[in-house]
Chain A
Amino acid sequence: MPQYTAKEVAKIVAMSKEDIEKLDYETAMSKLEIVVDALEQEGTSLEYGLQLYAVGTLLSKKCSAALDAAEEKMLQLLGTIQNPSEQPFDPEKEGR
């Protein structure tokens, strides 16, 4: 489980949609993990839970989109590897 403090959770909850949009995948992912953990924590108040849900949904969408883009790129690259463009070496030239 991720290690985090209540203060960190509060910071994440306070993030705006624009803030989240600017995050890279790794950061968004680790924040999402914190949110999920906090959400599953017993003793989370209903109101705080709803806030966590709202920010968690945004983070999840962000991560999912990043993964989709990565997957598409990967499949593209795999296609390139499997069909490398044949670039012949210089035709044989002997002599001077």
Chain B
Amino acid sequence: MSLLKPAVPYPVKVLSVEALTKHIKEVVENDTLLSSVWVQGEISNLVKAASGHCYFTLKDDKAVLKACLWAGNRRYISTDFKNGDLVMVYGSISLYAPRGEYQIVVTDLRPAGIGALYEAYEKLKNKLQAEGLFDSERKLPLPFLPKGVGVVTSSTGAVIKDIFRVIRRRFKNMPIYLVPVKVQGEGAAQEIVTGIKRLNADSRVDVIIIARGGGSLEDLWAFNEEPVARAISDSRKPIISAVGHETDTTIADLVADKRAATPSVAGELVVPVKEDLEELIRQKTMRLSRMMKSIFTIQKQRYDNCAQCRFLVKPSLLVAERRNNIMNLSRELDTGFKTFIDNIKHRFELLNARFMVLDPKSLLRRGYIMATDEKGKVITSVKKLKKGLGLKLGFSDGYAGVTVDEVVKLSEGDK
């Protein structure tokens, strides 16, 4: 053994600290695991700088890790944190050469433990979504008026009281069947599943409410478990979920046929207001009666119109009306015939009067004389007359034989 003999031969090349550090930095920062990693630990030595940057160390029983959170990333982190908090951070390992220190540059920070739940939640949500369990076509319609309402929730606390109060107020005698269950902690999910199955088998129930008050993600966890989701999905009766506050959407809320923001809203969704229905029924009943009466009246009127036909009421009119017609006709015949005769008489008298005027005897009576020759021929001219010719002069009451004494012929001008 010699003190002079070194374990390693003298180097040909010696690295500077900077070069070595640079090499380490490259190795570290190019490592896949180290460039995106979740790490969990307790916060200590927290410094929140005025610039907005934060510096702290994460530690557990065996090791510490320096961490920095730049102001730009801090803005996206909703969780508040302080010394002593157990957190999980996401980021990349980087090396700070001037101090020869490595640290994690944090881009996300969440309370420890929640992360696992969130992941499980997201995983189950994606899985069930892929199976189509949230699809709107799968949602069962709520009954207009259920025979009875099943409720799966804790038998104590405000939730069941709210549900009872709202349902009672809207529909006084609506039967409500409660299956009391644990709504958080060990065995809660199994109890909820059993409750849903039991109410499915209960023929008195045709709509189910599953409810729980608000709480942390852990508190609501039972409603994010797959068996509960499956039980809701398999239910043949529609399920309304009212779990947690409106902002916490559980898997149960997504699978349920209807989501209510609060237990009271669930009560409102599940039953109509009885008084409204009664009023509606009253109105419809009145309308029905009115319509029935009106149809009857119309038909009765239609019938009466026919039944009042005079020939049906008094068939003797069939004969009587005709007899009347005949009498009228014979009366018309009588008057017609009389008029006919009168007309003929009248015409005769007119003709007769004219005839009387033309009768030569009536002329003789008025002083005219008719001259005839010996043969009885009427003489109307002096042409053939000669002195000494015998004529016969006719008067109205006789005649006289005369002889022509003189013949004077009138000249044309004297006529």
Contacts and interface: CB of A to CB of B under 8 A. Distances in A.
A88 B173 contact: yes
Given A53-B318, A67-B299, A81-B288, A60 B307 contact: yes
Given A53-B318, A74-B292, A94-B178, A29 B173 contact: no
B204 A90 contact: yes
Interface in B50-109: none
A92 B381 CA distance: 147
Nearest to A63: B303
Interface string A52-96: 110011001001100100110010011001000000111111111
B173 A36 contact: no
A39 interface: yes
A40 B204 contact: no
Nearest to A59: B306
Nearest to A28: B303
Interface in B174-196: 174-179
A60 B302 CA distance: 11
B126 interface: no
A39 B306 CA distance: 11
A36 B312 contact: yes
A46 interface: yes
Contacts of B383: none
A50 interface: yes
B293 A74 contact: yes
B203 to A, nearest CB: 12
B118 to A, nearest CB: 36
B289 interface: yes
B311 A40 contact: yes
A57 B285 CA distance: 37
Interface string B271-301: 0000000000000010011001100100110
Contacts, number: 85
Contacts of B318: 46, 49-50, 53
B415 interface: no
A94 B318 CA distance: 79
Given A53-B312, A77-B292, A94-B176, A32 B306 contact: yes
In this complex, the member of B288, B305, B309, B322 whose beta carbon has the largest number of chain A beta carbons within 10 angstroms is B309
Contacts of B263: none
Interface string A40-52: 1000001001101
A56 B322 CA distance: 20
Interface in B131-151: 147-148
Contacts of A89: 173-175
B315 interface: yes
26 contacts: A25-B299, A29-B302, A32-B306, A36-B306, A36-B311, A39-B312, A46-B318, A50-B315, A52-B311, A53-B312, A53-B318, A56-B309, A60-B303, A60-B306, A60-B312, A64-B307, A67-B303, A74-B292, A81-B285, A90-B147, A90-B148, A90-B175, A91-B173, A92-B173, A94-B177, A95-B177
Given A29-B299, A63-B303, 20 more contacts: A25-B299, A33-B305, A36-B309, A39-B312, A46-B318, A46-B319, A49-B318, A50-B318, A53-B315, A53-B318, A60-B303, A60-B312, A63-B306, A64-B303, A64-B307, A71-B296, A74-B293, A89-B174, A91-B173, A92-B173
Interface of B: 147-148, 173-179, 204, 285, 288-289, 292-293, 296, 299-300, 302-303, 305-307, 309, 311-312, 315, 318-319, 322
